[in-house]
């Protein structure tokens, strides 16, 4: 017998050699029916995996992220099997992973897939599901694995196998006649897929390399219940209506010109929105003890070697030569922050030093990956670099979590937290990494914050806490991050004078809340569907004079509202008032003030709200009091 510790901390004894599925059955038949995979000592495993030693075990269902991945990965194999049945050797298989929402598979095929093709493939997938094929795992020596793929005429699979170490057993999964090179995990049979939809197809490149073979990628989604699929498709339809690229154009917020792919232009209304966000950021940071700095957009190449960024980012950096010296446009603000700190000697009495920067950075992204404001080549990070004593680490992390919570709450965002640990290509000693990870864990646990471990996804210089905000459609966006760094202070020889009069090394925290101003604006556009809260709206009030005789009064009101720092426009076109109201509603302006003879005589305004419709007539002073109070309430 072996001892198994479950997720809730309880322990059970199971027969040695029991599979994860058998352990699930021992716990509950219902759990076994819903099981997708297992996690043994933190490592995701197939349900077929045997338990041969004492361990910690978590049974993963579709409610767990890794459970979803196993489910979606299995569905990608069903899609590949369906395509091979339809097209035979005319299509070559490459890879088909699960992604954050569903799965995709890349195929080498003569022509792009049409909508009719997707429908035909989906029908064949449903037949495979109905066949309820058992999915089995087996391994082959490297030579036999290559031979199998040669027989099946799969050159891309052969390439992948040839790169694996000699002597390694190669893992395959089989379902019916279909055999696929794969590490897994997968669910037990094809019949467990209850609802699926192929969503779209596009071109891609083998291994993401533009110089390699062009492939055709099919995206799809699947669920254990038809109602979940229906709900997801409804969400996608709503997301289309909220597409920030579409609304950004309609609301005249930003543009992307063909002369600058990946380099967004902010239009006047977009700049109004952006300025409000940045002013809000500055106020919050002044209240929390930050000093604002600005570092250069370009620094010499040696700096990036010193910081370690050259080894990790050089392929995404823009470079140039000045006075025969190599320079790089900054892909991030951190090294500049180091130089600011080094500008003078610091005492322990000054720490923590909190420096904030709205810093413009540039990174080269592939043209096929550019996406509105979500993936651009230049963006502004709301960076902060905090230099503190080792004894101040936990309190500073707690302060940062409280600030991040405060900011996200104002926008109506909830969030989940991940602790990302040491990646493979990291800098620094095991002791530094253990100390840094433990400090982050302690801060989270002391604040009773729920979090997931994201193994191996930390920054190359330190572990991090990532904040994934949820929008009104339930979609997650990784925005905020807190990174603990022992490496940069070492590389830049940062010091402070301690109580003992000697030099000591400060600890550094990197932090963003918005992440990128551009991307955060894109998220806000979709979250609010362009109908921003009054304090954030680019135009807060639209004045609608009914006739030319009311234009002078409209101008007078505009001047008065602008004195109160209310953003206002006049629609003085010679159009009917109903048309003007509809236009203002389409522009999602929070308040429309209708101005006619009655309003001019009473020195009043006819108020229409985007949310509540016709509110009626009120004095200008009362309206100003109403909107000012609303702005202050939401901005706090």
DSSP of 135-154? EEEEEE-HHHHHHHHHHTT-
Two tokens, residue 200: 């779209």
- At residue 367, the pLDDT reads 81
- The upper half-sphere exposure of residue 270, i.e. CA atoms within 13 Å in the direction of its Cβ, equals 24
Cβ atoms 161, 181 nearer than 8 A: yes
d(CA 99, CA 320): 36
For residues 499 and 106, what is the distance between their CA atoms, to the nearest angstrom? 61
C-alpha 43: how far from chain center: 24
DSSP assignment letter at 93? E
Specify the CATH number for 541-635; select among 3.40.50.800, 3.30.230.10, 1.10.260.40, 3.20.20.140. 3.40.50.800
Question: What CA–CA distances, in Å, run from 142 to 145, 150, 164, 447?
Answer: 5, 12, 8, 50
Predicted local confidence at residue 635, as pLDDT: 54
- Assign domain 289-518 to its CATH superfamily: Bira Bifunctional Protein; Domain 2 (3.30.930.10)
**Do 379 and 519 form a contact (C-beta atoms < 8 A)?**
yes
Q: Taking the chain, what is the end-to-end CA distance rounded to the nearest angstrom?
A: 59
Decide: helix, strand or coil at residue 203. strand
List of long-range contacts for 3-10, beta carbons under 8 Å, 24+ apart: 3/54, 4/51, 4/54, 4/55, 4/56, 4/57, 5/54, 5/55, 5/56, 5/57, 6/56, 6/57, 6/58, 6/59, 7/57, 7/58, 7/59
- The CATH architecture to which 66-240 belongs is 2-Layer Sandwich (3.30)
Contact in structure between 199 and 221 (CB atoms under 8 Å): yes
What tokens does 42 get? 């933190």
Mean pLDDT by 10 residues, the chain (636 residues): 88 90 91 93 91 92 94 97 94 94 94 94 97 94 93 93 88 94 93 96 88 94 96 92 95 95 96 96 94 95 88 86 91 92 95 96 87 94 94 91 93 91 80 84 87 82 88 88 87 94 93 95 95 96 94 94 95 93 95 94 93 92 93 68
CATH 3.50.50.60 fits 2-61, yes or no: no
At 33 the pLDDT is: 92
DSSP string, 248-302: HHHTT-EE--TTSTT-PEEPHHHHHHHHHHHHHHHHHHHHTT-EE----SEEEHH
Q: Mind telling me the catalytic residues?
A: 334, 363, 381, 383, 385, 464, 510
Domain boundaries, the chain: 2-61, 66-240, 289-518, 541-635
pLDDT at 169: 87
Output the pLDDT for position 634. 61
SS (H, E, C) 371-440: ECCCECCEEEEEEEEEEECHHHHHHHHHHHHHHHHHHHHHCCCEEEEEEECCCCCCCCCHHHHHHHHHHH
């Amino acid at each position: 017998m072996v001892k198994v510790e479950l997720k809730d901390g309880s322990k059970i004894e199971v027969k040695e050699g029991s599979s994860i599925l058998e352990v699930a059955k021992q716990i509950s038949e219902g759990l076994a029916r819903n099981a997708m995979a297992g996690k043994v000592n933190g490592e995701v495993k197939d349900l077929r995996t045997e338990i041969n030693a004492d361990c910690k075990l978590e049974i993963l269902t579709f409610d767990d992220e890794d459970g979803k991945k196993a489910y979606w990965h299995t569905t990608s194999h069903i899609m590949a099997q369906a395509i091979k049945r339809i097209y035979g050797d005319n299509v070559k298989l490459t890879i088909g992973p699960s992604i954050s929402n569903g799965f995709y598979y890349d195929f080498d095929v003569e022509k792009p897939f049409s909508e009719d093709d997707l429908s035909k493939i989906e029908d064949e997938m449903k037949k495979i599901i109905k066949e309820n094929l058992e999915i089995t795992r087996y391994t082959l020596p490297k030579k036999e694995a290559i031979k199998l793929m040669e027989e099946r005429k799969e050159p891309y699979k052969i390439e992948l196998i040839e790169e694996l170490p000699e002597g390694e057993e190669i893992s395959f999964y089989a379902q019916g006649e279909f055999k696929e090179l794969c590490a897994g995990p997968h669910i037990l049979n094809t019949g467990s897929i209850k609802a699926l939809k192929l969503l779209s197809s596009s071109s891609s490149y083998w291994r993401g390399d533009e110089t390699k073979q062009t492939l055709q990628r099919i995206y799809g989604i699947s669920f254990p219940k038809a109602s979940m699929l229906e709900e997801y498709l409804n969400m996608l339809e709503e997301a289309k209506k909220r597409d920030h690229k579409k609304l950004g154009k309609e609301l005249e917020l930003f543009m992307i010109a063909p002369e600058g792919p990946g380099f967004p232009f902010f239009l006047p209304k977009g700049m109004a929105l952006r300025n409000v966000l940045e002013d809000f950021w500055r106020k919050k940071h002044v209240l929390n003890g930050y000093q604002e700095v600005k570092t250069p957009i370009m620094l010499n190449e040696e700096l990036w070697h010193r910081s370690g960024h050259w080894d990790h980012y050089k392929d995404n950096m823009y470079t140039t030569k000045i006075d025969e010296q190599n320079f790089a446009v900054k892909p991030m603000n951190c090294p500049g922050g180091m130089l600011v700190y080094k500008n003078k000697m610091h005492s322990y009495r000054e720490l923590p030093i909190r420096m904030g920067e709205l810093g413009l950075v540039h990174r080269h992204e592939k043209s096929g990956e550019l996406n509105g404001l979500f993936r651009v080549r230049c963006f502004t990070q709301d960076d902060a670099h905090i230099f503190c004593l080792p004894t101040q680490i936990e309190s500073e992390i707690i302060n940062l979590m409280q600030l991040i919570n405060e900011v996200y709450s104002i926008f109506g965002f909830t969030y989940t937290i991940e602790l990302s640990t040491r990646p493979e290509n990291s800098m620094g000693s095991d002791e530094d990494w253990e100390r840094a990870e433990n400090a982050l864990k302690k801060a989270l646990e002391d604040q009773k914050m729920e979090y997931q471990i994201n193994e191996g996804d930390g920054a190359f210089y330190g572990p991090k806490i990532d904040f994934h905000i949820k929008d009104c459609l339930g979609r997650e966006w990784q925005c905020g991050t807190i990174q603990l760094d022992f490496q940069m202070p070492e590389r830049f020889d940062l010091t402070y004078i301690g109580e003992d009069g000697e030099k000591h090394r400060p600890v550094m925290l990197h932090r963003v809340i918005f992440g990128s101003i551009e991307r955060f604006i894109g998220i806000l556009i979709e979250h609010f569907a362009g109908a921003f809260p009054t304090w954030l709206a680019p135009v807060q009030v639209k004045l609608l004079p009914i006739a030319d005789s009311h234009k002078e009064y409209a101008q007078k009101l505009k001047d008065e509202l602008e004195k109160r720092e209310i953003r206002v426009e006049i629609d003085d076109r010679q159009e009917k008032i109903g048309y003007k109201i509809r236009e203002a509603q389409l522009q999602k302006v929070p308040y429309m003030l209708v101005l006619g003879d009655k309003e001019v005589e009473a020195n009043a305004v006819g108020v229409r709200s985007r949310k509540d419709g016709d509110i009626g007539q009120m004095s200008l002073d009362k309206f100003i009091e109403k909107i000012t109070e609303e702005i202050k309430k939401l901005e706090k």
